[in-house]
Amino acid sequence: MARIIDAPLTSAPEGSCDPRSVHGTWGALDAAARRGLAFTPEVKAKTDHLYEKVKHVIPAVEWPAYAPLIAAINEMKAAKNAVILAHNYMTSEIFHCVGDFRGDSLQLAREAAETDAAVIVQAGVHFMAETSKILAPDKTVLIPDLRAGCSLAASITGADVRLIKARYPGVPVVTYVNTSADVKAESDVCCTSSNAAAVVEWAAREWQTDRVILLPDEFLAKNVATQTGIRIISWHGRCEVHERFSAEDIAELRAAHPGIVVLAHPECPPDVMAASDFAGSTAALQDYVVEKRPGKVVLLTECSMSDNVAMAAPDVDFIRPCNLCPHMKRITLEGIYDALANMQHEVTIPEDVRARAEHAIQRMLDLPKEKPRAFETGRAPVAVELV
Ligand code: SF4
């Protein structure tokens, strides 16, 4: 079941899934040298404490390739009053060694809104950088690689949402944050996988309706429908990483690893959710592992997540089916270095679009803060209306 999506994996060690290989770091150990950086005794002294955090995933022999970039990035952050927002799907050398704030989309959106830094570097995909710019319009927001997209965000446009609203007048529109600023601008309120069910319930109450439009993820919509009992109208968008997990995968895992605890992300198909032991956002999955300490666990989500959670739960045995997000893996240490050194790839949004999108995001942020809500597994799938 291990799969690498769109990934020219060349020389990772046998039996390992090394996400860093996807964007060529494995084969480009001279990235630091090409930028005039070297693994000196000073660099070693500045980064030894960081290596402790990632030694479970980065072999010692590779560290001299990463350490000079990490040291240089951390110095530039201080000099330029910059912070790095690192999503849970970043590789460990980014997540643990240069990330200032780490988390899921909701946690990073809150940090973007609150940071005092002048510059935000988004170690995540483009819609996340747009979300930061929407919430922090006076700050310079950089994305290390403009090609870091998302299959969900690419599935729908603002024009599509306008057509849907015309077809269902008066029905509230909730959009997943995994969408462009243009789509958010057409929405009543945003949600993330941490709060999707709570936002849908809130929208139904506010609009006094039993129908809610939830865009664009078909599977998230179906999974929210099973949790809330609210009639959901949705779209045919899918996350190209999570749609590939299947209930057969889970049966194989349980047969191969008796007693394993299966955790799923709600962008997975409903039959995967039904066959899992627990389901929730990346933040909820992390909380579960850290609090419950299962002996052996599998996270049905993006590949790097297990590496990053493993640091907080070293006693847990992670089985790692490897579904990589090719968009997330476009974000590299060298890309972050170049973005900061050259102040390149700034994200901009027309002000009228930004202001309307901010309204939808702010409505979500203003809802009572609650723990990432788990999805109850084992429930029978509920149909949704797909536009
Ligand atoms: S993991 Fe899925 S939802 Fe997240 S950025 Fe990649 S394609 Fe988009």
Which atom of ligand 1 is nearest to 267's Cα?
3
Q: Is the pLDDT of residue 8 over 80?
A: no
| Model pLDDT, residue 20 | 53
| Model pLDDT, residue 371 | 84
CATH class of 19-150+328-342: alpha beta
Of 21-25, 70-74, 371-375, the range with the lowest mean pLDDT is: 21-25
What is the whole-number distance in angstroms between the Cα of residue 69 and the centre of ligand 1? 26
Pocket test for ligand 1, best of 22, 23, 106, 150 (most atoms within 8 A of CB): 150
What is the whole-number distance in angstroms between the Cα of residue 71 and the centre of ligand 1? 29
Do the beta carbons of residue 143 and residue 345 sit within 8 Å?
yes
User: How do residues 290-330 score in pLDDT, each as one tens digit?
Assistant: 999 999 999 999 988 998 898 889 999 999 887 899 999 99
The verdict on the CB of residue 241 being under 6 Å from ligand 1 is yes
* Residues 83, 81: Cα–Cα separation, whole Å: 7
Residue nearest to atom 5 of ligand 1 (CA): 150
Instruction: Indicate the average pLDDT of the chain.
Output: 91
Q: Is the pLDDT of residue 4 over 70?
A: no
Which atom of ligand 1 is nearest to 150's Cα?
8
Which atom of ligand 1 is nearest to 125's Cα?
5
Q: Is the pLDDT of residue 9 over 50?
A: no
Q: Is the pLDDT of residue 14 over 70?
A: no
- For the chain, which residues make up each domain, given as ranges? 19-150+328-342
The verdict on the CB of residue 276 being under 6 Å from ligand 1 is no
The verdict on the CB of residue 150 being under 6 Å from ligand 1 is yes
Pocket test for ligand 1, best of 151, 302, 305 (most atoms within 8 A of CB): 151
| Model pLDDT, residue 370 | 82
| Model pLDDT, residue 104 | 87
- Quick one: average pLDDT of 126-144? 96
Which atom of ligand 1 is nearest to 326's Cα?
6
Pocket test for ligand 1, best of 241, 304, 331 (most atoms within 8 A of CB): 241
Which atom of ligand 1 is nearest to 127's Cα?
5
The verdict on the CB of residue 239 being under 6 Å from ligand 1 is yes
What is the whole-number distance in angstroms between the Cα of residue 151 and the centre of ligand 1? 6
Q: Is the pLDDT of residue 22 over 70?
A: no
Residue nearest to atom 6 of ligand 1 (CA): 325
User: How do residues 85-116 score in pLDDT, each as one tens digit?
Assistant: 999 999 999 999 999 999 988 889 889 989 99
The verdict on the CB of residue 129 being under 6 Å from ligand 1 is no
Pocket test for ligand 1, best of 327, 329, 330, 331 (most atoms within 8 A of CB): 327
| Model pLDDT, residue 19 | 52
Which of the four pLDDT bands, split at 50, 70 and 90, describes residue 29? low
Q: Give the residues across from 319 on adjacent strands.
A: 298
Q: Is the pLDDT of residue 219 over 90?
A: yes
Which atom of ligand 1 is nearest to 325's Cα?
6
Of 199-203, 232-236, 307-311, the range with the lowest mean pLDDT is: 307-311
Sort 245 into a burial class: Cβ within 10 Å, 0-12 / 13-18 / 19+: buried
* Residues 341, 337: Cα–Cα separation, whole Å: 6
- Cα(first)–Cα(last) distance of the chain, in Å? 32
Taking residue 295's Cβ as centre, other Cβ atoms within 10 Å add up to: 11
In this predicted model, which residue has the larger pLDDT, 120 or 30? 120
| Model pLDDT, residue 49 | 98
| The token pair that represents 237 in the structure block | 């968008």
Do the beta carbons of residue 69 and residue 329 sit within 8 Å?
no
Which of the four pLDDT bands, split at 50, 70 and 90, describes residue 30? confident
In this predicted model, which residue has the larger pLDDT, 169 or 12? 169
* Residues 72, 284: Cα–Cα separation, whole Å: 33
pTM of the model: 0.91
Which atom of ligand 1 is nearest to 239's Cα?
2
Peptide bond into 216 cis (omega under 30): yes
User: How do residues 354-373 score in pLDDT, each as one tens digit?
Assistant: 999 999 999 999 998 888 88
User: How do residues 137-177 score in pLDDT, each as one tens digit?
Assistant: 999 999 999 999 999 999 999 999 999 999 999 999 999 99
Backbone phi, psi, residue 173, to 5°: -110, 115
Do the beta carbons of residue 32 and residue 73 sit within 8 Å?
no
Contacting residues for 313 by C-beta, under 8 A, at least 6 apart: 289, 290, 293
Q: Give the residues across from 102 on adjacent strands.
A: 86
* Three-class SS of the chain: CCECCCCCCCCCCCCCCCHHHCCCCCCCCCHHHHCCCCCCHHHHHHHHHHHHHHCCCCCHHHHHHHHHHHHHHHHHHHHHCEEEEEECCCCHHHHCCCCCEEECHHHHHHHHHHCCCCEEEEECCHHHHHHHHHHCCCCEEECCCCCCCCCCHHHCCHHHHHHHHHHCCCCCEEEECCCCHHHHHCCCEEECCCCHHHHHHHHHHHHCCCEEEEECEHHHHHHHHHHHCCEEEECCECCCCHHHCCHHHHHHHHHHCCCCEEEECCCCCHHHHHHCCEECCHHHHHHHHHHHCCCEEEEECECHHHHHHHCCCCCCEEECCCECCCCHHHCCHHHHHHHHHHCCCECCCCHHHHHHHHHHHHHHHHCCCCCCCCECCCCCCCCCEEC
